[in-house]
């Protein structure tokens, strides 16, 4: 709810009443409801009187407009000389709203209101309403005319509101500033708002009297008939005393909106195939009917995991354009995937609400189909002893060349990682060392690989900085295990090697392995074979599919 207030000071009253919110705008998707309103006065009020104004008549017309001569130097003369004129009669009306909305063939129109003082029905420059005649609001996007009752900017959505207009005949002037066809077209909406029963009412007025600079409260209620169409319903209310009922006039606008906004998948689109494994995801939102998107409600999920907190949103107010309405018509949410997605189908879900409370949610599938793959094979180290370096080795392969392979390590109690470049020691094999530690504890580490095509993967493959590998650093007398990864092609046996060091004698080394997807491990004993600290075991791969 937002806006501005135009107080009218009663003849027997020297104070001013202000309401919070000032100009009341309600956006809702329910037929019946209420909003709390507060008010205060800079003078004591011996009584409080609230008079509700409701729309008595609404006139909706589809009109034709011509291209006018806009070459003159005096805009007000040009406006009052416009080809289009319409005369209307006003009697006992507290608020008079006049709104024009150009069609696509009339992209720039301007609006002016004259009072037909001489009775000739034409609307002349001298009859253009100004602030000496009555109060008014010009809803131009750049702030509006503050002296003459006109609304003119670089679009065709123009509106003025006259406050307590005197009875008589008024001339509506519409200037065809830019009209692309003969003729152009526009909608003309005229609302006459006056005292009487209708959709708006007031309950719970508190207090009966009001000391100066003290907040009073009441509830503004509305009740739309069943089957009411979506749209804007206007009204108003006077706040005053029993003797001066019309001290302050407060306009009311009720936007009844039951239509949910649109979720528009942009990238990846529905069922789109992409090759980028770390895409920047863009989802657009559309509420072009009412312009009431609520940017705080935008949310995004990727494969069932919410990524809203890692996303950015943009919801701009559109106020100076050739759009059907002004407001928050469009918005977006953007997220960049930080780790490579696997080839295959992935699911996106996005949702947003409008200010009326209508929620839109949509899920769709896209497919990652990247023919160029980057692999890293690393069996993590799990333990070491103080005063010994920890060897780290990995097998790395890419369809492109390898740009860099790095190891990041830190003590668990530290906040930042130390980066160590891994050196290539053989075909697809890279090696580095974590320095010897002097105290027992836990080391954290992870590996990061980037290939020449810019693809990046890590090991572990998700959240490596917050869920890294852990190495337990034991006392000097604890056995140390160094194990290098192995790869096998075809049906050859898979050879597993490990180096076991201990200040005492080694009694037994066991190898636990299982087939991918199996629940239970197989156990075999690793052999030393008189090779010092080197132990090995072979696994028959004839019947293994696909991997250990």
Q: Of 12-16, 353-357, 456-460, which has the strongest mean pLDDT? A: 353-357
**Rounded distance, CA 140 to CA 152, Å?**
6
The CB density around residue 189, as the number of other CB atoms within 10 Å, is: 17
pLDDT at 13 over 50: no
Confidence at residue 482, expressed as pLDDT on a 0 to 100 scale: 65
Which residue, chain included where needed, has tokens 């992409």? Answer: 274
Q: Specify whether the CB–CB gap between 269 and 114 falls below 8 A.
A: no
152-167: pLDDT as tens digits? 988 898 999 898 899 9
Closest C-alpha among 238, 548, 8, 545 to residue 537 = 548
Sign of the dihedral through C-alpha 51, 56, 60, 66: negative
Residues 6+ apart with CB under 8 A from 104: 180
Residue 79: band (very low, low, confident or very high) from pLDDT cuts 50, 70, 90: very high
pLDDT at 490 over 60: no
**Rounded distance, CA 436 to CA 391, Å?**
10
Percent of the chain with pLDDT over 90: 46
**Rounded distance, CA 435 to CA 441, Å?**
14
Residues 6+ apart with CB under 8 A from 71: none
ω into 138 cis (within 30 of 0)? no
Residue 546: band (very low, low, confident or very high) from pLDDT cuts 50, 70, 90: very low
Buried-state track 115-140, b at ≥16 Cβ within 10 A, e below 16: bbeeeeeebbeebbbeeebbebbbbb
pLDDT at 38 over 90: no
Please provide the average confidence, as pLDDT, over all residues in the chain.
85
Lowest mean pLDDT among 107-121, 278-292, 488-502: 488-502
* Cα dihedral: 38, 43, 46, 49 (round 10): -40
pLDDT at 12 over 50: no
pLDDT at 449 over 70: yes
248-301: pLDDT as tens digits? 788 888 999 999 999 999 999 999 999 888 899 999 999 988 889 999 999 999
Confidence at residue 8, expressed as pLDDT on a 0 to 100 scale: 34
Give the pair of three-digit tokens for residue 297: 């409600």
Q: Specify whether the CB–CB gap between 127 and 81 falls below 8 A.
A: no
**Rounded distance, CA 401 to CA 489, Å?**
22
Confidence at residue 327, expressed as pLDDT on a 0 to 100 scale: 83
Q: Specify whether the CB–CB gap between 497 and 523 falls below 8 A.
A: no
Q: Which residue has the higher pLDDT, 12 or 244?
A: 244
Confidence at residue 500, expressed as pLDDT on a 0 to 100 scale: 76
Confidence at residue 413, expressed as pLDDT on a 0 to 100 scale: 92
Q: Of 39-48, 106-115, 516-525, which has the strongest mean pLDDT? A: 106-115
Q: Specify whether the CB–CB gap between 367 and 457 falls below 8 A.
A: no
Closest C-alpha among 412, 392, 388 to residue 477 = 388
**Rounded distance, CA 242 to CA 371, Å?**
81
The CB density around residue 339, as the number of other CB atoms within 10 Å, is: 14
Lowest mean pLDDT among 294-298, 327-331, 352-356, 543-547: 543-547
Confidence at residue 240, expressed as pLDDT on a 0 to 100 scale: 82
Which residue, chain included where needed, has tokens 């008010």? Answer: 39
Q: Which residue has the higher pLDDT, 97 or 544?
A: 97
Q: What pairs with residue 160 in β-bridges?
A: 98, 138
Helices H, strands E: what count in the chain?
1, 41
Interval 106-115 mean pLDDT: 96
Interval 355-381 mean pLDDT: 87
Confidence at residue 58, expressed as pLDDT on a 0 to 100 scale: 85
> 430: exposed, middle or buried (C-beta count within 10 Å: 0-12, 13-18, 19+)?
buried
The CB density around residue 344, as the number of other CB atoms within 10 Å, is: 8
Give the pair of three-digit tokens for residue 285: 């939102």
Confidence at residue 463, expressed as pLDDT on a 0 to 100 scale: 85
**Rounded distance, CA 393 to CA 387, Å?**
19
Angle at 275 between CA 273 and CA 281, to 5 degrees: 75
Percent of the chain with pLDDT over 70: 87
Lowest mean pLDDT among 109-118, 160-169, 410-419, 452-461: 452-461
Confidence at residue 488, expressed as pLDDT on a 0 to 100 scale: 57
Closest C-alpha among 330, 367, 326 to residue 347 = 367
Confidence at residue 489, expressed as pLDDT on a 0 to 100 scale: 52
pLDDT at 506 over 70: yes
Interval 371-379 mean pLDDT: 77
Domains contained in the chain, CATH given: 6-55+195-256 (2.60.40.10), 56-193 (2.60.120.380), 262-368 (2.60.40.1220), 372-480 (2.60.40.10), 486-548 (no CATH)
Confidence at residue 1, expressed as pLDDT on a 0 to 100 scale: 28
Give the pair of three-digit tokens for residue 300: 């995004």
Interval 127-138 mean pLDDT: 90
Confidence at residue 365, expressed as pLDDT on a 0 to 100 scale: 98
Q: Measuring CA to CA, how many Å separate 535 from each of 107, 142, 494, 506?
A: 83, 81, 14, 11
Confidence at residue 50, expressed as pLDDT on a 0 to 100 scale: 86
pLDDT at 5 over 80: no
pLDDT at 418 over 70: yes
Residue 484: band (very low, low, confident or very high) from pLDDT cuts 50, 70, 90: low
Q: Which residue has the higher pLDDT, 92 or 322?
A: 92
Q: Which residue has the higher pLDDT, 531 or 203?
A: 203
Interval 484-508 mean pLDDT: 69
Q: Specify whether the CB–CB gap between 366 and 269 falls below 8 A.
A: yes
Confidence at residue 207, expressed as pLDDT on a 0 to 100 scale: 67
Q: What pairs with residue 348 in β-bridges?
A: 302, 364
Closest C-alpha among 451, 337, 443, 458 to residue 391 = 443
The end-to-end CA distance of the chain, in Å, is 63
Residue 45: band (very low, low, confident or very high) from pLDDT cuts 50, 70, 90: confident
pLDDT at 120 over 80: yes
**Rounded distance, CA 255 to CA 28, Å?**
6
Which DSSP category does 80 fall into?
Answer: H
Confidence at residue 4, expressed as pLDDT on a 0 to 100 scale: 31
Q: What pairs with residue 367 in β-bridges?
A: 273, 345
Confidence at residue 542, expressed as pLDDT on a 0 to 100 scale: 59
Segments in 183-287 forming alpha helices (H): none
Residue 143: band (very low, low, confident or very high) from pLDDT cuts 50, 70, 90: low
**Rounded distance, CA 545 to CA 517, Å?**
10
Confidence at residue 352, expressed as pLDDT on a 0 to 100 scale: 98
3-state secondary structure labels for all residues of 431-464:
EEEECCCCCCEEEEEEEEEEECCCCEEEECCCCC
**Rounded distance, CA 442 to CA 304, Å?**
33
Confidence at residue 381, expressed as pLDDT on a 0 to 100 scale: 82
């Amino acid at each position: 709810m937002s806006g501005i207030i135009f107080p009218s000071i009663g003849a027997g009253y020297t104070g001013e009443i202000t309401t919070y919110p000032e100009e009341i705008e309600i956006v809702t998707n329910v037929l019946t409801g209420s909003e709390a309103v507060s008010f205060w006065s800079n003078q004591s009020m011996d009584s409080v009187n609230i008079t509700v104004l409701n729309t008595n008549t609404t006139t909706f017309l589809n009109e034709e407009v011509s291209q006018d001569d806009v070459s003159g130097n005096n805009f007000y003369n040009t406006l009052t000389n416009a080809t289009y004129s319409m005369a209307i009669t006003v009697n006992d009306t507290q608020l008079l709203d006049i709104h024009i909305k150009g069609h696509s063939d009339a992209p720039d129109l301007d609006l002016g209101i004259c009072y037909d003082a001489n009775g000739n029905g034409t609307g002349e420059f001298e009859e253009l309403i100004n602030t000496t005649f009555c109060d008014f609001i010009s809803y131009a996007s750049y702030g509006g005319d503050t002296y003459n009752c006109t609304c003119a900017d670089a679009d065709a959505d123009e509106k003025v509101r006259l406050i307590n207009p005197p009875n008589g005949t008024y001339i509506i002037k519409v200037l065809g500033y830019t009209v692309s066809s003969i003729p152009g077209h526009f909608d003309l909406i005229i609302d006459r708002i006056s005292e009487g029963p209708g959709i708006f009412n007031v309950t719970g007025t508190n207090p009966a009297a009001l000391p100066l600079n003290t907040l009073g409260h009441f509830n503004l209620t509305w009740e739309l008939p069943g089957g009411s169409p979506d749209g804007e319903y206007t009204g108003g209310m006077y706040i005053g005393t029993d003797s001066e009922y019309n001290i302050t006039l407060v306009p009311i606008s009720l936007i009844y909106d039951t239509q949910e906004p649109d979720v528009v998948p942009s990238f990846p689109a529905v069922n789109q195939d992409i090759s980028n494994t770390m895409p920047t995801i863009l989802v657009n939102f559309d509420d072009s009917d009412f312009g009431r998107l609520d940017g705080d409600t935008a949310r995004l999920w990727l494969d069932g995991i919410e990524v809203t907190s890692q996303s950015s949103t943009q919801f701009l107010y559109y106020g100076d354009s050739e759009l059907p309405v002004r407001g928050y018509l469009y918005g977006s949410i953007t997220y960049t995937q930080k780790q490579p997605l696997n080839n295959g189908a992935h699911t996106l879900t996005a949702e947003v609400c409008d200010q009326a409370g209508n929620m839109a949610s949509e899920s769709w599938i896209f497919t990652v189909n990247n023919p160029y793959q980057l692999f890293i094979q690393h069996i993590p180290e799990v333990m070491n002893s103080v005063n010994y370096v920890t060897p780290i080795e990995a097998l790395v392969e890419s369809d492109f060349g390898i740009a860099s392979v790095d190891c990041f390590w830190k003590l668990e109690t530290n906040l930042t990682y130390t980066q160590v470049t891994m050196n290539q020691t053989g075909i697809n094999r890279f090696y580095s060392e974590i320095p010897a530690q002097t105290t027992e504890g836990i080391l954290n580490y992870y590996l990061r690989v980037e290939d020449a095509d810019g693809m990046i993967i890590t090991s572990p493959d998700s959240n490596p900085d917050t869920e890294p590998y852990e190495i337990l650093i034991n006392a000097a007398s604890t056995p140390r295990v160094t194990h290098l990864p192995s790869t096998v092609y075809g049906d050859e046996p898979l050879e597993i090697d490990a180096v076991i060091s201990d200040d005492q004698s080694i009694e037994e080394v066991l190898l636990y392995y299982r087939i991918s997807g199996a629940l239970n491990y197989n156990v075999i004993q690793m052999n030393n074979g008189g090779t010092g600290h080197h132990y090995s075991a072979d696994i028959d791969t004839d019947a293994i599919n696909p991997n250990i």
